[in-house]
Amino acid sequence: MRLQGKTAIVTGGASGFGAGIAKKFAAEGAKVMVADLNLEAAQAVADEIGGVAQRCDVSDADSVDAMKVAALSAFGKLDILINNAGTTHMPAAMEDVSPQDFDKVFGVNMKSVYLTALAFVPHFKENGGGAVLNVASTGGVSPRPRLTWYNASKGWMITATKGMAVELAPFGIRVNAINPVAGETPLLKSFMGEDTPEIRAKFLSTIPIGRFSTPEDMGNAACFLCSEEASMITGVAMEVDGGRCI
């Protein structure tokens, strides 16, 4: 029960890595808000873990503010913020990615971190501390071809994590990131372009441990970084990637 008495928001918590993090946090004693564009799916996860569901478009300031109001109404205070919601463009030559797809990647992967900081950093400062975890990607460290703007968005998130960590450390607020390799999530097909045994085998050949990451892997890493066991760790972008970035 490493998170006993803690409260947390997990954006993009209705599926994939977000659902894995939400379930792990609840199992470790936290009260969890599952925030997602898909309210029905968020509610299903929340019901499973005894949490709270909230519809949220993380790229929209009003929606993020509504999430803040709902979380503080439900919990009274927030201890942990997980910026997990993410998206990608389909694999393509960089010049063939449309402005609409670029704007979507920018809004969900980058602007969301800014908007949640506006919403919750003042609250964390008032409470004397908190933990923020940004779910970045190995693509931000070792970019894959044809995912250039997605890679760039995750590199931005890693840099934002380090900048936030330095600025917020005096206030007792820790900020870390995890860099997953591709996993069995709704985004997997988008990363690969198409899902065939041949493409999966090619993808897996780049991961020394020889398997995709799982929601449970991300839940375990996130739990450690947001627990008191990691009280001296801030500004880290932990690769949870089976050796992909070596």
Domain 7-240's class? alpha beta
Predicted TM-score (pTM) of this structure:
0.95
* Known catalytic membership, residue 114: no
Helix, strand or coil, per DSSP, at residue 31: strand
Q: Do 32 and 49 form a contact (C-beta atoms < 8 A)?
A: yes
Q: What is the pLDDT of residue 176?
A: 99
Instruction: Report pLDDT for 105.
Output: 98
| Confidence at residue 197, expressed as pLDDT on a 0 to 100 scale | 82
Question: Which stretches in the chain have pLDDT values below 50?
Answer: none
User: In this structure, are residues 35 and 67 in contact, taking their beta carbons and an 8 Å threshold?
Assistant: yes
Model pLDDT, residue 187:
67
Domain segments of the chain: what residues?
7-240
List phi, psi (to 5°) of 125. -60, -45
Instruction: Report pLDDT for 39.
Output: 98
Q: How far apart are CA 188 and CA 93, in angstroms?
A: 18
The whole-number pLDDT of residue 199 equals: 81
pLDDT at residue 189, rounded to an integer:
66
Q: Which of 120, 124, 150, 191 is catalytic?
A: 150
Q: Are 91 and 139 in contact (CB under 8 A)?
A: no
